[in-house]
Structure 1
Amino acid sequence: MYDVLDPDSDRGRVYRALVGHPREPVGLLAARAGLSESVVRVVLKELVAEDIVVTTDHGAGEASWEALPPTQVVETLLQRDAVRRTALRRAGTELERLYRFARRDAGHYGALEVVEDAARILTVSRRLQQSARRQIRVIDMPPYSGTSDHYLEQEVLQRERMAAGVVYRTIYHGSAFDDPVAGPNMARMIEAGEQARTLDDPPMKLAIGDSDLAVVTLAADDHPGVVSLLIRPSGLFRALSNVFESLWRLAVPASAAGAGTQIDARDRQILTLMASGATDDVIARRLGLGRRTVVRRVSVLLAGLGATTRFQAGVQAARRGWL
């Protein structure tokens, strides 16, 4: 959205043309912005969807557009930044509550149960999924200690639950793409319908079944292996649910397409320039490519990375070691 204030970007050119020449039809806008009408129509559709531009219809069959005041656009940008900061603070606050609860004696907090037996931990995980009727929310992160058989069994169970209408939303650690077992498992589950996002450094392993049970898995403090904290409906449960939702909003959509693959030198150059904030026009000039070629390759790269913005594409590409 910030590029609407950049006079060298396509969106910036169209917005500035509208600021100076309100309610003009697309043909005149294209001429003023130095862009083709097809590009201007795409840009206008994006700006209308982002509440930066409004459509005005004069009833004669020819639509025109009006730019919202620049001060209003800037204020919207600042408010969205504030929402992001608020989400980060909320996640930190809720994690602090978890930190304190997890260090209390379980006997003094009825909603919390500590499980240390590995076999029971797996049983609890299966039971959480089997009993869910609406959704299962998961944060998955290293170490990935499960065997190939364990992942295959989990895939079978997850496919059964998704076929029954249960929605899976999973936040993966950014390194999941590179893990020889977890990576292919993630790709297959996304293809099967799992909603997946990635985050550089999630704070914990977490599974939440509906509004009934949450399981936090942590490294044991006094012996090798892990322990699981079973949390039932309570203030702590709500805190964990809030943590997940805050992190979900901050995470980047993941795609099975291209996971574990490599890209050629030209696409790497395009991604590097995209990540630096370069527009399609700038990329075309820097690499000596036609603008249409750049637009087409950017579209393919965004789709392959499961990204909706250039920033997300840069994050995903960096996580996969492409940059």
Structure 2
Amino acid sequence: MHDVLDPDSDRGRVYQSLVRHPHQSAGELAARTGLAEAAVRAVLDELAAEDGVVTTDPGSAGAVWEAVPPTQLVEALLRRDDALRTALRRTGAELERLYRSARRDSTHYGALEVVEDLARVLAISRQLQQTARHQLRSIDVPPYSGTPDFYLAQEALQRERMAAGVTYRAIYPGSAFDDPIAWPNMARMIEAGEQARTLDDPPLKLSLRDDDLAVVTLAADERPGVVSLVIRPSSLLQGLSNVFESLWRLAVPVSAAGIGTQIDARDRQILSLMASGATDDAIARHLGVGRRTVVRRVSALLAGLGATTRFQAGVQAARRGWL
């Protein structure tokens, strides 16, 4: 939600317009921000759900909106950040305890099973997908232990499961764009319907089936290969689920739109100026075009890059070699 404080994000434009001009309708906000009215309504619904704005007539086409006081909003953001850090520290400490405990006695924690055989590790990965009912969430980081044929079979199974209605959400490391195994797989799966995001240096390799099974895969300590920790319903499983959702909110969306494509010189200039912190007005003056033209191009670039903020757009553009 931090982008509500970014004056160059859509949410930031809408919120700060309400700060300056109270009691505005969606149509009035669209005129002030240069955004489409449908986009403004979507932003208002999001901000209302997050207690950033309020209205006295929800659901009405003529509803008038008001901003929550900025100090109240900032305090709420700080409380959420504190809660996130506390949850991450608590889960990390629990993982560390169980990690060390599992290496002394695999029966010490009833919800945990240690799997060291590579063939079974790969079989568990496949079984997770085959038995998922609603969704499969994953953090996909090295080590990669399968053969090329295994990954091709995994792609086929994922397409089959997505066609059956199972939602896939995956977090990849930023380095995945340069990985000869991860990047081609990521691009194909996104185009097939996977929801993907990237995060610099994710903390662990994790798969979550619905809300009832998790697998953490680690490099083996005293030999080549990997070890998997299979976690069944428990406070640890809930903690891992919370960690995934927290990291998902922090990660940068990756869009299938524009994968492998190039952009023209003007869009490259716009992206470079955005990355340097220039406002729409400054970009328009620099390029000698109208502000509305810049607003339209920025919106199109954000959509094409799967980004919701200029910072995310800059990260995505740099990773694709556009800057």
TM-score range, shorter chain: 0.7 to 0.9
Distance in 2 separating the partners of 1:201 and 1:247: 11
Matched residue, 1:197: 197
Matched residue, 1:253: 253
Shift of 1:204: 0.8
Q: Any conservation in 2 of the 1:25–1:65 contact (CA below 8 Å)?
A: yes
Counterpart code for 1:119: A
What is the TM-score with the length of structure 1 in the denominator? 0.81
Q: CA RMSD in A?
A: 3.4
Once structures 1 and 2 are overlaid, which stretch shifts more, 142-151 or 40-49?
Answer: 40-49
Give structure 1 stretches of 5+ with no counterpart: none
Matched residue, 2:214: 214
1:89 matched to 2:121? The reply is no
Q: Secondary structure of 1:243's partner?
A: helix
Matched residue, 2:167: 167
Once structures 1 and 2 are overlaid, which stretch shifts more, 288-297 or 299-308?
Answer: 288-297
1:123 matched to 2:104? The reply is no
Matched residue, 1:18: 21
Give structure 2 stretches of 5+ with no counterpart: none
After superposition, the Cα gap between the structure-2 partners of 1:164 and 1:268, relative to the gap in structure 1 and judged at 3 Å, is: same
Counterpart code for 1:93: R
Q: Any conservation in 2 of the 1:254–1:307 contact (CA below 8 Å)?
A: yes
1:98 matched to 2:95? The reply is yes
Distance in 2 separating the partners of 1:56 and 1:233: 42
Counterpart code for 1:229: L
Distance in 1 separating the partners of 2:162 and 2:65: 45
Shift of 1:249: 1.9
Counterpart code for 1:83: R
After superposition, the Cα gap between the structure-2 partners of 1:10 and 1:181, relative to the gap in structure 1 and judged at 3 Å, is: same
Once structures 1 and 2 are overlaid, which stretch shifts more, 254-263 or 217-226?
Answer: 254-263
CA offsets 1:8-58 (integer angstroms, 9 cap, x no match): x96588446525xx669978996xx6x8xx65857864764435666789x
Q: Any conservation in 1 of the 2:196–2:253 contact (CA below 8 Å)?
A: yes
Matched residue, 2:72: 75
Alignment size in residue pairs: 309
Counterpart code for 1:100: R
What is the TM-score with the length of structure 2 in the denominator? 0.81
Distance in 2 separating the partners of 1:54 and 1:108: 50
Matched residue, 1:108: 108
Distance in 2 separating the partners of 1:183 and 1:5: 30
Matched residue, 1:186: 186
Q: Any conservation in 1 of the 2:199–2:251 contact (CA below 8 Å)?
A: yes
Provide the identity percentage.
Answer: 61
Shift of 1:119: 1.2
Distance in 1 separating the partners of 2:140 and 2:166: 18
Q: Any conservation in 2 of the 1:17–1:29 contact (CA below 8 Å)?
A: no
Q: Who wins on radius of gyration, i.e. which is larger?
A: 1
Pairing 1:202-281 to 2, within 5 Å after superposition: 202-281=202-281
Shift of 1:264: 4.4
After superposition, the Cα gap between the structure-2 partners of 1:118 and 1:10, relative to the gap in structure 1 and judged at 3 Å, is: closer
